[in-house]
Amino acid sequence: MKFLISAAGTGGHVFPALEFANECIKNNHEVIWMGTNTGIENRVVPKNIKFLTIPMSGFRGKNLIHKISSLLGLIVSIFKSIFYLYKNNIDYVICFGGYISLPVGLSAWICRKPLFLHEQNAVMGTSNKVLQKFSKKTFLGFSLNEPLSKKMMLVGNPIKPPKEIFFPDQSHESIRIYVTGGSQGSEFLNHNIPLALSALNTSLEVRHQSGVGKSSGIKRLYSSNISVEVEEFYNSPHDAVLWSDFIISRAGALSLSEAISLKRGLLMIPLPSAIDNHQLLNAVSILDLGMGLIHEESDSIESLSRKLKDILDKRLYLEWARAENNLDHFKAAGTMLNSILHD
């Protein structure tokens, strides 16, 4: 079978799609990827996957000129997608949300190709909301804050299984913390987390993922009693997660799914400008599992330090690691593929 996968822009859309693509290839199916010329997909989609592009860009939260450009791009992208679907004789179309999904999904409906969606977050994104009425099924990474329809299926977010999973190692003297702002990094975390941790006057080990081009000066913000490694991007974030006792991060769906699947809890700082406030809703899902705490940007640095002190003093991270999570994100890709083929 031939699968057309659309995912573009950020790692939150692209990496789950890539894991699903690998599952398809492992089961002897052909995969074609629809992306853009500018997103992270250009760097991470392997050469064995045919890569096609359309001139689509985001619409929401942009200025008038950008919105006009985006609408023109949508029209061109629909025609290009229709051409690609027919030329490559596609059997199934799977869209992983984001702006690129809209033209690809509409093209699938026009061409009468079976359309499937995957929503990573705890709230449905704009493109998926529009496309849902045209799709055969919508796969969910987290439970939505609304009743599920018959066309929805909770599967988790596809992530690559590690070689092994183990609980936080208590043999090391210092508590280990992994700080990550996601694939794009976070200026707020880069500046404020070093200050908040340094205020604790506690011996710690930190691995800090800054985002590409954002690492300058971060190490100097940490106090001398904190052993810190700063990297712009970890090619294997699983290793950093498993090394840690707990994680400080934004509340992107993929980062949260990886952490809880690897038995690590989090102090989550949702991005306040996230569309539809999806990061806060994602974080609430983790809070409900008993696997983390939430700190909002509008709260003070003193409040952030107090929460961190609580986590360390009460060893909350050990409770988080042993909390039950019945949603197996490692099996999500296989569950999706099986459902599509037998729908």
The tens digit of pLDDT for each residue in 8-49 reads 988 889 999 999 999 999 999 999 999 999 888 999 999 999
pLDDT tens per residue, range 201-248: 898 999 999 998 899 999 999 999 999 999 998 878 889 999 999 999
Q: 62 in a domain, yes or no?
A: yes
The fraction of the chain above a pLDDT of 70, given in percent, is: 96
141 and 55 both lie in a single domain: yes
**CATH code for position 192:** 3.40.50.2000
Chain position carrying tokens 């099986």: 338
* Amino acid occupying residue 56: M
273 and 313 both lie in a single domain: yes
The residue-averaged pLDDT of 146-150 equals: 86
The residue-averaged pLDDT of 56-83 equals: 78
Confidence band (pLDDT; 50, 70, 90) for 165? confident
Helix, strand and coil content of the chain, in percent to the nearest 5, comes to: 40, 15, 40
Question: Which pTM does this prediction carry?
Answer: 0.90
Q: Given this model, what pLDDT does residue 68 score?
A: 72
Q: Given this model, what pLDDT does residue 45 score?
A: 96
* Amino acid occupying residue 276: D
State the Cα angle at 39 between 102 and 97, rounded to 5°.
30
Burial class (CB in 10 A: 0-12, 13-18, 19+), 342: exposed
Q: Given this model, what pLDDT does residue 163 score?
A: 77
d(CA 319, CA 292): 9
d(CA 80, CA 212): 31
Encode burial over 101-127: b for 16+ CB neighbours within 10 A, e otherwise. Answer: bbbbbbbbeebebbbbbbbbbbbbbbb
pLDDT tens per residue, range 259-274: 999 999 999 999 998 8
Helix (H) and strand (E) counts in the chain: 13, 13
Q: 34 in a domain, yes or no?
A: yes
Q: Given this model, what pLDDT does residue 240 score?
A: 94
C-beta separation of 151 from 172 below 8 A: no
Confidence band (pLDDT; 50, 70, 90) for 132? very high
Q: Alpha helices, DSSP H only, in 137-202?
A: 187-198
151 and 9 both lie in a single domain: yes
Q: 164 in a domain, yes or no?
A: no
Q: 111 in a domain, yes or no?
A: yes
Q: 6 in a domain, yes or no?
A: yes
Confidence band (pLDDT; 50, 70, 90) for 343? confident
- Residue numbers of the domain that contains 304: 175-321
C-beta separation of 10 from 41 below 8 A: no
Q: 168 in a domain, yes or no?
A: no
Domain count of the fold of the chain:
2
C-beta separation of 340 from 167 below 8 A: no
Q: 169 in a domain, yes or no?
A: no
Read off the DSSP letter of residue 134. G
C-beta separation of 325 from 260 below 8 A: yes
